[in-house]
Amino acid sequence: MKKSIKLIALCAILSFFTITTFAQDKAKQIEDLLAKYTEYGQFNGSALVAENGKVIFKKGFGQANMEWNIPNQPDTKFRLGSISKQFTAFLIVKLAEEGKVKLDVPITTYLPDYPKENGDKITIHHLLTHTSGIPNYTSAPNFLREKSRNPSTPEEFVKTFNKLPLDFKPGEKFSYSNSGYFLLGYIIEKITGKTYEQYLQETILTPLNLVNTGFDHSEVILKNRAAGYEKQGKNYVNASFIDMSIPYAAGSLYSTVEDLYLWDQALYGNKILSEKSMESLFKSYISSGNEGYGYGWFLSEEKIGGKQYKIIEHGGGINGFNTIISRVPADKNLVLLLNNTGGTVLGEMNEAIRNILYNQPYNQAKRSMALELLEVFKTKGTTAGVDTYKKLKNDSTYGIKEGDMNNVGYQLLQTGKKKEAIEIFKINVEAFPKSGNVYDSLGEAYLADGDKKLALANYSKSVELDPSNENGKKVVEELSKNKSK
């Protein structure tokens, strides 16, 4: 008997050390991966990874403040952008659970001053699932320059888009819209008689002890707040100002990777929401291929190591910040990446980390070709730029990243270098022929250069690949009308 007990104990100890070694090995792989992305100028932020509900890695990379050389840490606070939407959706579902709101009634039930022509057709469910047809206010021309800087009350700002024609009949299709989630915040205020911020605090943040999460205010002195930056080629500049009353319930929150881990863990329990209500957050209401959308979350099915897994995740982007939270509920695996240097390839990093967690092969970080091409196209023109592209294309240390190439193309376009921008966008089309966005960008560059025939061809291809591209449809319609005259 004693021998059996010793044997059992030895096996338990060996098992513990084996699990610990695997976790340490994965943590080392994750650290090396993110360190390389940081070296290549593609990650500057904080990361946290959990496996089976336990944190196996958390660390800061790069600078929270470049002017004072203050490093990012796990307790650094970042603006979340659209990750905020899952909190807003949670609050609405909580109100529904309490019988204070119905998800299937017109929004005019709670917003009697909203124009009835559209408001009587749109339900809260439509807002939650981006199927309302309300135009996305952040996609409006000159939004950043004309509307993003000035403070506004929810009531005032709703009036900037509530009378616009709908892009489509409510419930007909999915089209991501910050306007819908802005309205959800306003509805929360109308129902509760409290500000969105107050209701968020008392319903989620205080009960879950999320002491490093909140509604961001630029004027408030916030300890450990990361500064936001944007890349211009290989250099950084301070991100442009945005008043946080404008993103509001669609993107106004800040948090840390440590607090978001607590949030993730709370979503597995029923501490502040019933099991049935919790399930409603993660049900796929709108599906396209293997991807769907619940209430504030993107949902997908992916095969990893021969097994099918449900992935629940959402990204965020706001001036100077880029974020992602990705969950695999079956194994309680979590990836959190918060970045404070504008848009970057967090999806690529997330996929590699997920593969590390499941002991699968993963792609190593590569230098972004776009950054090299920008300088050449900007200073030496199209011929030199194309020659450099052909050379770098054969260099395995470089990779073409769709978002980076798109950003470089627009930087060139905005400085009047239309021919150069067209060449960059053509390279992106060649590399990502199934992306509607790259054709949309190329179409815009051709239009700016006065070539309406090629603009129409590329916008049409964009809409064909991405039927949710409502702006592209409008451009195609306009160009087709002019063509027929």
Average the pLDDT over 232-241 and give the result. Answer: 90
Q: How far apart are the C-alpha atoms of 332 and 342, rounded to whole Å? A: 29
Question: What pLDDT is attached to residue 139?
Answer: 86
Which residues are CB-neighbours of 166 under 8 A, at least 6 positions away? 118, 121, 132, 133, 134, 135
pTM of the prediction?
0.88
* CB atoms closer than 10 angstroms to residue 1: 5
Question: What pLDDT is attached to residue 61?
Answer: 98
pLDDT-derived band at 23, boundaries 50, 70, 90: low
Average the pLDDT over 359-370 and give the result. Answer: 93
Q: How far apart are the C-alpha atoms of 180 and 97, rounded to whole Å? A: 20
Question: What pLDDT is attached to residue 42?
Answer: 94
Indicate the burial class of 309 (C-beta count within 10 angstroms; 0-12, 13-18, 19 or more). middle
Q: pLDDT tens across 263-299, in order?
A: 999 999 898 999 999 999 999 998 866 789 999 999 9
Cβ atoms of 356 and 30 within 8 Å: the answer is yes
Question: What pLDDT is attached to residue 15?
Answer: 45
Residues in the chain: 485
Q: pLDDT tens across 454-470, in order?
A: 999 999 999 999 887 87
Round the average pLDDT of the chain to a whole number and report it.
92
Residue 16 has pLDDT above 90, yes or no: no
**CA–CA distance from 152 to each of 156, 162, 216, 251, 320 (Å)?**
6, 15, 14, 15, 21
Cβ atoms of 442 and 430 within 8 Å: the answer is no
Helix (H, G, I), strand (E, B) or coil at 62: coil
Which residues are CB-neighbours of 171 under 8 A, at least 6 positions away? 126, 131
Indicate the burial class of 302 (C-beta count within 10 angstroms; 0-12, 13-18, 19 or more). middle
Cβ atoms of 180 and 130 within 8 Å: the answer is yes
CATH code of domain 367-484: 1.25.40.10
Q: pLDDT tens across 26-64, in order?
A: 999 999 999 999 999 999 999 999 999 999 999 999 999
Cβ atoms of 216 and 79 within 8 Å: the answer is yes
More confident residue, 256 or 235: 256
Average the pLDDT over 383-410 and give the result. Answer: 91
Q: How far apart are the C-alpha atoms of 291 and 284, rounded to whole Å? A: 8
* CB atoms closer than 10 angstroms to residue 333: 23
Question: What pLDDT is attached to residue 485?
Answer: 57
Percent of the chain with pLDDT over 90: 81
- Joined tokens for residue 455: 């603009």
Domain ranges of the chain: 81-357, 367-484
Nearest alpha-carbon partner for 59 in 22, 24, 80, 31? 31
Which residues are CB-neighbours of 311 under 8 A, at least 6 positions away? 299, 300, 301, 302, 326, 327, 328
Question: What pLDDT is attached to residue 47?
Answer: 98
* CB atoms closer than 10 angstroms to residue 93: 23
What DSSP line would sit under 310-326, residue for residue? EEEEEEEEETTEEEEEE
CATH fold of 81-357 = Beta-lactamase (3.40.710)
Cβ density class 39-70: b for 16+ within 10 Å, e for less: ebbbbbbbbbbbbeeebbbbbbbbbbeeeeee
Q: pLDDT tens across 103-114, in order?
A: 999 999 999 999
Residue 83 has pLDDT above 80, yes or no: yes
Cβ atoms of 197 and 155 within 8 Å: the answer is no
- Joined tokens for residue 435: 């992306």
Q: pLDDT tens across 152-204, in order?
A: 899 999 999 999 999 999 999 999 999 999 999 999 999 999 999 999 999 99
pLDDT-derived band at 17, boundaries 50, 70, 90: very low
pLDDT-derived band at 2, boundaries 50, 70, 90: very low
Cross-strand pairs, 334: 50, 327
pLDDT-derived band at 22, boundaries 50, 70, 90: low
Question: What pLDDT is attached to residue 484?
Answer: 60
pLDDT-derived band at 403, boundaries 50, 70, 90: confident
Contacts of range 159-166, beta carbons closer than 8 Å, 24 or more positions apart: 161/134, 161/135, 161/137, 162/114, 162/115, 162/118, 162/119, 163/115, 164/134, 164/135, 165/135, 166/118, 166/121, 166/132, 166/133, 166/134, 166/135
